[in-house]
Amino acid sequence: MQKLEGDGLAFFHAGGTIIEKNLNPGETLRVDTGCLVAMTGNVDYDIQYVGGIKTAFFGGEGLFFATVSGPGKVWLQSLPFSRLADRIFASAPRAGGTQKGEGSILGMFGNILDGDND
């Protein structure tokens, strides 16, 4: 985590849909640690164990949650970089994914012409 202070603009890199959430005093959110992009300085932040073995292994979210409590603003992303990389790798032809040929008028003939027919 990095702290930014001062006047001016700050740019953040995030993936998927970005949600800006205003937390009221005492309002709490539990989110996947990779989905938390930024928060204002007055937001209380804590990492907590998901609990339960079944939830940890079969829940698909990992072993820990980020718990944020208001008042303040938080920015959340729907597609952290690690999930994006997993999806790209899974869809790669060499990893068992299939090539869909989107964006090409030539379709399969374009693959023959460029030698990418394996």
In a domain, 42, yes or no: yes
The domain in which residue 37 lies consists of: 14-86
Contact 39, 75 (CB under 8 A): yes
- What pLDDT, on a 0 to 100 scale, did the predictor assign at position 74? 95
In a domain, 43, yes or no: yes
Cα separation, 21 vs 78, in Å, equals 13
| Number of structural domains found in the chain | 1
Cα separation, 48 vs 62, in Å, equals 11
In a domain, 104, yes or no: no
In a domain, 70, yes or no: yes
How does residue 28 score in pLDDT terms, banded at 50, 70 and 90? Answer: very high
Whole-model pTM over 0.75: no
CATH classification at residue 56: 3.60.160.10
Average pLDDT (87-94) is 74
pLDDT above 80 (res 109): no
In a domain, 117, yes or no: no
- What pLDDT, on a 0 to 100 scale, did the predictor assign at position 105? 55
pLDDT digits over 61-84, tens only? 567 788 999 899 999 998 777 777
